Amino acid sequence: MRVFLLVARSTFTEIWRQPALLILMFLGALSTGGGWWWREFDFGENEARFLLNFGGGVQGLIGALFCIVAVAQTWSREFERRTAIVLRSRSINPFALVAGKSAGVWLVAALFVALSTVWLAFLLSGKANAGLWGVFWAETIVRAGKLALIAAFTSWFATYGKTATFVILASGAYLLLGNLHGLIDGQQGGGNVLRLLVPDLRWIDVVVAPEHFSQMTQFVGARVLVLVVYTGIFLMLASWSWSRRED
């Protein structure tokens, strides 16, 4: 646990010391409220629901891009500075190292989610009913958990990828495949295996009508459980890959 906390703090501090990244994070949080400028258009939804869908989509996209790029960058620096060899020579627990670096990136992403959530809540004040507020908080919780999953599978690619470009492209492709999970043919053996290896990210996104507010806990609990399981699996795969990597 001590190694995990030290690595997480070090990764968080490394990212936090980059002013340009912080400015982009702040601008990204503000952009989640961009739907306010388009609210007068009739998209078949009421104003509050449109603001929620627009803001949630932007929040998820920016958060995913940040996690992928940040994880790829932090691991790439370890290899460029040759500190990866030092970490391995000291026999640091691979799982604690991988989980700590993923957690450090996720903490920064969670701050972005918190900041943008406060901004969206301000825009929704006085426009959303109790049911829509329930959907808002449920989707926010699941979206934050989804970013932890993205950081975990990006770490898996990063522990054996030779370049940051490969890690970013591979993670982006995997993320896209997860969102297109329903198109994977499960009638054949290979399709069934692929459907297990790739989490259904579209299903994970909470889409519950306000009238189903009483079932919100069940929806969120099921998705959080899937996120925890897949995140743990990818962190174990990343630690296994790291322990066997040859530089």
pLDDT tens digit sequence for 170-222 = 888 888 888 877 666 555 555 566 667 788 888 777 666 555 656 677 778 88
Range of the domain at 110: 2-243
Mean pLDDT, the chain, rounded, equals 77
pTM of the model: 0.82
Return the CA Rg of the chain: 19
How many folded domains does the chain comprise? Answer: 1
- Spatial distance between the Cα atoms of 63 and 145, rounded to a whole number of angstroms: 11
In this predicted model, what pLDDT tens digit does every residue of 213-222 receive, in sequence order? 566 777 788 8
The secondary structure element, H or E, covering residue 107 is helix 94-124
